[in-house]
Amino acid sequence: MAKTKQEWLYQLRRCSSLITLEKIISHRRYKLTADDIETFNSAADQ
């Protein structure tokens, strides 16, 4: 099941450092399907 934007926001907000957040964002952008990437990117950009 695909995550919603809110679920991605909750996951990304748990990162305690900017470096960790950047690693997760760059890693996930290559692993997600084309359908999920738009939702993830909108959460990551907030």
Measured in Å, how far apart are the chain's first and last C-alpha atoms? 22
Residue 12 and residue 21 in contact, taking contact as beta carbons nearer than 8 Å = yes
**This model's pTM is above 0.85:** no
CB of 36 closer than 8 Å to CB of 1: no
Number of folded domains that form the chain: 1
Q: What is the pLDDT of residue 6?
A: 93
What pLDDT score was predicted for residue 7?
92
Measured CA distances, 23 to 15, 27, 39, 42 (Å) = 10, 6, 18, 17
Q: What is the pLDDT along the chain (46 residues), one digit of tens a residue?
A: 788 999 999 988 998 999 998 898 889 888 998 889 888 888 888 7
- Domain range for 15: 5-44
